[in-house]
Structure 1
């Protein structure tokens, strides 16, 4: 009997629960959303992408975070404050004094995930914005202190926002 992709993903997650999720998705020809949906319930909370602006607005108050875009061709990281944004001319336009800038197609955001899991043995917390095809548009990670521990104030903000959103799926 042939195993489903979901079963294979769950098997890979069980074998290496703190590994790179994109590697698992690629191994099975699946979008990253398929892997996020296979994470244990305590590790992933999914909400509708229609809450994009509400979530973004909260993130602007977190201080310096790590903004990541992960593609097959590279992982691009930027540290900075999440800038405020506003809709205009078909995009969600980012404004302010931050190295994070640009124009987002927020209408393509299908889901937002709050991910809390180990990554190579260390707790990692992120907000991941998933597009219509199940790919991750970008990720915003709780920042780290010099000793690589999570910033306590941001972790508290992450946990509070996640709990406030739980059940809105």
Structure 2
């Protein structure tokens, strides 16, 4: 399927059901989630080369509370905490979270594309960084955090907008 045709199909699905997540659109169109994300209008999604993965993860560690989401076998795991610092060792980017934070070992060499996505979710403004494999599969997503009143943190919005400007050129 051509890129132009996919963009048209994604737009048609979102016009019909604007609340659908890219993963649901991908399932409906039988394409990868990354293909859907990168078929969104440029105002909604900016593509970043995966070679910037470590740089972005390092930056995220200073943003404060965020929501990290991992989809696995139709299940969704969420961690609401500051994204942890990490370091490379033994072929992995090792997340060194404190108690209550995310821990893990990432194969950032498998991240070929990163998406900076701005798409409403459940009627609320929403922004996330999505990390994708060469096959277009989502490895994980990091959503901007919210305060106790469910409002996005203004400083994170500003940093996210800067990233979109920096990489969207």
For normalisation by structure 2, the TM-score amounts to 0.90
Q: Does 1:34 align with 2:21?
A: no
Q: Does 1:88 align with 2:115?
A: no
Deviations 1:54-108 (A, max 9, x none): 1111100001110001244211111111111111111111113152110001000
Q: Does 1:54 align with 2:55?
A: yes
Relative to structure 2, which stretch is displaced further, 92-101 or 138-147?
92-101
What is the alpha-carbon distance in structure 2 between the residues aligned to residue 115 and residue 6 of structure 1? Answer: 16
- Alignment match, 2:132: 130
- Alignment match, 1:158: 160
What is the alpha-carbon distance in structure 2 between the residues aligned to residue 62 and residue 141 of structure 1? Answer: 11
What is the alpha-carbon distance in structure 1 between the residues aligned to residue 118 and residue 111 of structure 2? Answer: 20
Moved over 6 A (4+): none
What is the alpha-carbon distance in structure 1 between the residues aligned to residue 17 and residue 150 of structure 2? Answer: 21
Alpha carbons 1:48, 1:110 under 8 Å: kept? yes
Secondary structure at 1:159 match in 2? helix
Deviations 1:113-168 (A, max 9, x none): 1111211221101011111110111000111122222111211121122222222x
- Alignment match, 2:115: 113
What is the alpha-carbon distance in structure 1 between the residues aligned to residue 7 and residue 132 of structure 2? Answer: 18
Q: Does 1:77 align with 2:78?
A: yes
Alpha carbons 1:13, 1:39 under 8 Å: kept? no
Unaligned runs of 5+ in 2: none
Relative to structure 2, which stretch is displaced further, 139-148 or 5-14?
5-14
Q: What CA RMSD, in Å, does the superposition of the two structures yield over aligned residues?
A: 1.7
Unaligned runs of 5+ in 1: none
Aligned partner of 1:141 among 129, 140, 143: 143
